[in-house]
């Protein structure tokens, strides 16, 4: 069965509001082509995992004019069949996708404990690989996996989607353009509307490896230097059951590079007002920031005062365009034979910072990162 390309495209919501300029800059910076030409290839995808993040990536792949979703695999046949019916692709086993001659790349959205094994298998099979973070929860296993990718000359991109948010990309572009001078400090706020189920927390690797790991990647992305030291504090303020499961729900982290640049991260599993995602970068000549986003960017003024719509309340709606952008970047790199970013090395670096944060909390001291 030949997969069909559905005419689905993502676009930003509220682009005409006060954030229009920052969105325009991001669109100029992001690696997305708007026109096809005869030299462009169509990248043929296999999707591994048909859960909620698999559905997001299925939409991103089928919404890209330079890609086609050929097949999907999942341990639960009904989940795979639902995606196949929606996007006109086949349901195949992982083994069939691995051996397929009509698939160039795979998107790995399976449980974390399967990621490293699948990366190694598909790298040996000659497929380009996009894998949701993390590669693994064990840093030695990640190193071994990356070694296999290097030995097989494989192509691996790790899914740190926040780098591809148009607002955060515009912040990075302002830094690159020299508009705030040399970066000195970054402040990253990331607070979820609510905590995930305790059963999920037990297998997630903990808040630092599951949630803060995105902020560790963003800190590296914004600071432009590797982190040298990590200081972290953590507490259970939201749900005692999270503490009983051996994790935390409220954490603060200070990262510092060898030159003295700093990043401050604030995380909570609870934000009663919505999905709180903000960054601010202070430099020698100024400051650039990205505010929280809403489904629509309007403000109403009347006898009750000034009001705006609530924030997005779920990461999949907040980062809809980021998911589309990162898949577009993956496709563009494959077509051009360019290096993939974020790479396996970026995934390793973020996990190393997460491990250092865990150690900092346990030992109540600053941890040096090799």
How many independent structural domains does the chain possess? 2
Residue with token string 């077509």: 335
Q: Give the model's confidence band at 206: pLDDT under 50 very low, under 70 low, under 90 confident, else very high.
A: very high
| Structural domain contains residue 101 | yes
Residue 253 sits in a domain whose CATH number is 3.30.360.10
Q: What is the pLDDT of residues 75-93, one digit of tens each?
A: 999 999 999 999 999 999 9
Q: What is the mean pLDDT of the chain?
A: 90
| Structural domain contains residue 65 | yes
Percent of the chain scoring above 70 in pLDDT: 89
Based on the fold, state whether residues 148 and 271 are members of the same structural domain: no
Output the pLDDT for position 24: 43
pLDDT at position 18 over 60: no
Based on the fold, state whether residues 313 and 222 are members of the same structural domain: yes
Output the pLDDT for position 316: 82
| Structural domain contains residue 251 | yes
Based on the fold, state whether residues 109 and 171 are members of the same structural domain: no
Q: What is the pLDDT of residues 219-244, one digit of tens each?
A: 999 999 999 999 999 999 999 999 99
Ramachandran quadrant class, 73 (left: phi over 0; alpha: psi -120 to 50; beta: rest): beta
Q: What is the pLDDT of residues 20-46, one digit of tens each?
A: 443 344 434 333 333 333 455 799 999
Based on the fold, state whether residues 174 and 135 are members of the same structural domain: no
pLDDT at position 173 over 60: yes
Q: What is the pLDDT of residues 296-321, one digit of tens each?
A: 989 999 999 999 999 998 888 899 99
| Structural domain contains residue 12 | no
Output the pLDDT for position 41: 78
pLDDT at position 2 over 50: no
| Structural domain contains residue 14 | no
The residues near 106 (Cβ < 8 Å, ≥ 6 apart) are 45, 46, 47, 48, 97, 118, 122, 127, 128, 129, 130
| Structural domain contains residue 91 | yes
Pick the more confident residue, 174 or 316. 174
| Structural domain contains residue 128 | yes
Based on the fold, state whether residues 143 and 188 are members of the same structural domain: no
| Structural domain contains residue 11 | no
How far apart, in whole angstroms, are the C-alpha atoms of residue 288 and residue 10?
A: 26
Output the pLDDT for position 315: 83
Based on the fold, state whether residues 202 and 306 are members of the same structural domain: yes
Based on the fold, state whether residues 66 and 129 are members of the same structural domain: yes
Based on the fold, state whether residues 127 and 260 are members of the same structural domain: no
Percent of the chain scoring above 90 in pLDDT: 86
Based on the fold, state whether residues 313 and 355 are members of the same structural domain: yes
Summarize the confidence of residues 193-207 as an average pLDDT: 92
Based on the fold, state whether residues 62 and 145 are members of the same structural domain: yes
Identify the domain containing residue 83 by its residue range.
Answer: 20-159+328-337
Based on the fold, state whether residues 134 and 174 are members of the same structural domain: no
Output the pLDDT for position 5: 30
Residue 61 sits in a domain whose CATH number is 3.40.50.720
Residue with token string 């195949």: 92
Q: Give the model's confidence band at 65: pLDDT under 50 very low, under 70 low, under 90 confident, else very high.
A: very high
Least reliable range by pLDDT among 12-21, 258-267, 324-333:
12-21
Based on the fold, state whether residues 199 and 59 are members of the same structural domain: no
């Amino acid at each position: 069965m030949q997969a069909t390309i559905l005419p689905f495209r993502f676009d930003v919501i509220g682009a005409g509001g006060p954030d229009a300029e920052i969105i325009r800059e991001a669109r100029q910076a992001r690696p997305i082509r708007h026109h096809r030409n005869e030299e462009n290839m169509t990248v043929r995808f296999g999707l591994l995992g048909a859960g909620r993040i698999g559905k997001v990536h299925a939409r991103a792949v089928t919404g890209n004019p330079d890609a086609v979703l050929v097949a999907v695999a999942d341990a639960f046949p009904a989940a795979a069949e639902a995606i196949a019916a929606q996007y006109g692709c086949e349901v195949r086993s992982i083994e069939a996708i691995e051996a397929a001659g009509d698939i160039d790349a795979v998107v790995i959205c399976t449980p974390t404990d399967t990621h490293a094994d699948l990366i190694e298998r598909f790298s040996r099979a000659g497929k380009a690989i996009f894998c949701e973070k993390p590669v693994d929860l064990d840093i030695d296993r990640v190193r071994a996996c990356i070694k296999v990718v290097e030995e097989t000359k494989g192509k691996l991109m790790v899914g740190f989607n926040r780098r591809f948010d148009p607002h955060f990309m515009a912040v990075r572009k302002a830094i690159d353009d020299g508009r705030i001078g040399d970066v000195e400090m970054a402040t990253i706020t990331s607070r979820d509307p609510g905590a995930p189920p305790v059963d999920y927390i037990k297998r997630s690797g903990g808040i630092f490896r599951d949630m803060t790991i995105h902020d560790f990647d963003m800190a590296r992305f914004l600071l432009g230097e590797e982190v040298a030291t990590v200081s972290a504090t953590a507490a259970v303020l939201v749900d005692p059951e999270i503490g009983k499961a051996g994790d935390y729900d409220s954490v603060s982290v200070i990262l510092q590079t060898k030159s003295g640049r700093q990043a401050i991260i604030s995380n909570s599993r609870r934000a009663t007002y919505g999905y709180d995602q903000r960054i601010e970068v202070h430099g020698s000549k100024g400051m650039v920031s990205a505010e929280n986003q809403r489904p629509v960017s309007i403000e109403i003024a009347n006898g009750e005062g000034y009001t705006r719509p609530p924030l997005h309340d779920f990461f999949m709606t907040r980062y809809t365009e980021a998911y589309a952008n990162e898949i577009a970047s993956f496709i563009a790199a494959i077509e051009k034979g360019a290096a993939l970013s974020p790479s396996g090395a970026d995934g390793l670096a973020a996990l190393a910072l997460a491990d250092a944060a865990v150690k900092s909390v346990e030992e109540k001291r600053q941890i040096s990162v090799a």
